[in-house]
Chain A
């Protein structure tokens, strides 16, 4: 009874405003925790693999070896979120953030909370605190190997995933190797990374960037919901040195 009435009223509104208003049912559906974040589509490589981008309320794990473009991917994600006016948190275990480079990559630094833990247990506790603090995007960056504090226990990762699910946070764990186990609802990896150099081998060389393949998708049996279920074909990721 109420919904047809609401729809009738909506149809009388100006088109741009009507497009923004929703019925309560639509609103509930739109705020389901597993829905992807709207700014996720700003990264075409990610959108090609996971339509809509990273899901909310799910722990996404990104694994990549040395110089695979993992930090570049993280900065691109932070840039997409913060430039859309969202706040984001980076739990940076390796203390590797270069603010100058991040600003050059488009990250709005004033919207970024940077936490610099010393070991993995501090990083997990800090991540749980910021997830509970309502940040829409939380990135846990575990730095270069060896990760101080070891691999972490499964229960710790599950606890973090549960916190993200309760808060509806987009949670990305960026790690040199897989360590979240079954807690990760989406598992991504950067593979076959290779640097690109310009110039002849015998002459002066210049670093142009890095190329890698972004692969992965929803883990079988994991609780990723919504439209993020399917994994796409591997996508080429190109990061430029300047």
Chain B
């Protein structure tokens, strides 16, 4: 029989809420369902329970017991994220994970003997599962057994959060025998029949002959009887992991300003990055989904140059995105979706130059992207054509370093041209031969700080004609000159043949 581990989070709606807002754990808070007088307490924090607040009571009753009780509605977005986080935790231990209910997960424990060896292997597995769930912000209890029901009841009956309850293989029927029949959740008619027969516990049912139960109660009765004997009616149904990771929250009240939103976003992105990190993944594209007051919706997508798990960088990108394009209304809920990607692996060399750490590089590129914006960082590439100002930027992905340290060749010692982008328009005085005699900037754009290309020409060399695209709609014809200005540097200037205007597009340096 296959051994199964069960991760069960008690009071799941409350646990999901506390995962999103951990500071609430120390306060008397109740999660309620329903509106107005119909609002009922679903779960309450420990301080509230100690003061007498019970699940099932109305909010008015609970507040009569504890006047200072804070009420929170259910947060569907936070519950969804917490359920996914619990599945992620299970997925780290076994590839076969079943999503039973929100806050209830089964995973196959067979085949983990090499990771958790010895007679206490299952107990060690249970402790590790509970620890991983705690790190993900969820207080899960763990049970291990050979059937789903036994594993679930073992988890629910675990004495402490970190200590798993183990039902030895083949002892499931014995473990279940003492439980009331109601724990099997039989259909109403079936339950009434069994009660009339005097069956009060699971053990009473298990002791009946299987064939007799099947002949009298049909297929439903036979399945219930198998469950009572510790047998699963069906095998584990493994889930397909979702293509992306999601974290978010429904807000208690709408937010109209950026700062409080970023405070909440930071916590959500932090949780998202921790989940990605645990899977060895990084965020390659961040989706932002905003619920707007009263019924609006806003979807954004931020592409990153490299997969990263740096929450600070993601917060900054969200900040820039919302600052540049603010949502049109107050935000009543949000969700971040990370499209995961596996960071590039690197093989270190013994004798060659060190390679950049892929993770560190991804974080650096993401930070530059957040700091400078798109198209402001990358690897330059020379592009085809003759225009000196042309260039292309590619994502920076350097090739692996050479296996052995190379002797650097002596550089050519080439005079560089420092490009002026955009070209600076000039007023040029010409001599009788048509050569430049003096230059000065034609206009200075308001507020723009441009280099001072101004002075008498000491030496001029040119012209050199540059033509490009004569066959196209926008041909370019320029006459270039190299000019030395008295005490003011060496410049590359040109006259645009079509317009007759003069520009400086580079400085020899």
Contact = CB atoms under 8 A, between A and B. Distances in A.
Contacts of A113: 365, 368, 377-379, 396
Given A109-B379, A116-B372, A145 B419 contact: no
Contacts of B408: 38-39, 41-42, 80-81, 83-84
Contacts of A86: 353, 401
B412 interface: yes
Interface string B412-437: 11111111110000000000000000
Interface residues of A, number: 80
Given A66-B507, A115-B376, A145-B451, A99 B391 contact: yes
Contacts of B451: 66, 144-146
A144 B507 contact: yes
A241 B459 CA distance: 15
Interface string A70-92: 11101111011101111100000
Given A96-B419, A145-B451, A207-B490, A129 B411 contact: no
A77 B416 CA distance: 12
Contacts of A217: none
B376 A195 contact: no
Nearest to A131: B364
Contacts of B411: 42-43, 75-77, 79-80, 83, 105-106
Interface stretch (A5-13, A132-140, A158-166, A178-186): A132-140
Contacts of A135: 356
Contact of A106 (B360, B371, B409): B409
A204 B420 CA distance: 26
B193 interface: no
A96 B418 contact: yes
B409 A94 contact: no
B461 A207 contact: yes
A112 B388 CA distance: 20
A66 B509 contact: yes
B421 A84 contact: no
Given A122-B371, A239-B413, A130 B364 contact: yes
A79 B396 CA distance: 17
Interface residues of B, number: 65
A116 B369 CA distance: 11
B459 A87 contact: no
A126 B380 contact: no
Nearest to B509: A71
B380 A101 contact: no
B101 interface: no
B470 interface: no
A129 B367 CA distance: 7
A134 B406 contact: no
A117 B372 contact: yes
Given A72-B415, A85-B402, A96 B409 contact: no
Interface string A210-229: 10000000000000000000
Interface of A is mostly: mixed
Contacts of A195: 459, 484, 490, 508
B197 interface: no
B407 interface: yes
A148 interface: yes
A95 B421 contact: yes
Interface string B361-386: 10111011001100011111111000
B414 A239 contact: yes
B361 A133 contact: yes
A34 interface: no
Interface in B454-481: 459-461
A114 B395 CA distance: 10
Given A96-B418, A98-B417, A109-B380, A85 B352 contact: yes
B461 A197 contact: yes
Contacts of A132: 360, 364
Nearest to A100: B382
Interface in A190-207: 195, 197, 199, 204-207
B114 interface: no
Contact of B382 (A66, A72, A99, A134): A99
B444 to A, nearest CB: 11
Contact of B413 (A99, A110, A146, A238): A238
Contact of A103 (B357, B382, B402, B415): B382
Contacts of B360: 132-134
A114 B381 CA distance: 10
B354 interface: yes
B489 interface: yes
A109 B418 contact: no
Nearest to B490: A67
B488 interface: yes
B381, B417, B482 pick with most chain A CB within 10 angstroms: B417
Interface string B338-365: 0000000000000111101100110111
B368 A115 contact: yes
Interface of B: 351-354, 356-357, 360-361, 363-365, 367-368, 371-372, 376-383, 388, 390-393, 396, 398-399, 401-402, 405-421, 449, 451-452, 459-461, 482, 484, 488-490, 506-509
19 contacts: A66-B488, A83-B406, A84-B407, A87-B356, A87-B401, A96-B419, A97-B380, A97-B419, A100-B391, A101-B414, A106-B411, A114-B378, A114-B393, A126-B371, A126-B372, A129-B371, A195-B459, A197-B461, A238-B413
Given A75-B411, A99-B392, 11 more contacts: A42-B411, A66-B509, A71-B509, A81-B408, A85-B352, A85-B405, A99-B380, A100-B382, A129-B371, A206-B461, A239-B413
Interface of A: 20, 38-39, 41-44, 65-72, 74-77, 79-81, 83-87, 94-106, 109-118, 122, 125-126, 129-130, 132-136, 143-146, 148, 195, 197, 199, 204-207, 209-210, 237-242
Q: Which 10 A-B pairs have the closest CB atoms?
A: A133-B364, A66-B489, A42-B408, A96-B418, A71-B416, A76-B411, A84-B408, A71-B509, A67-B489, A99-B380
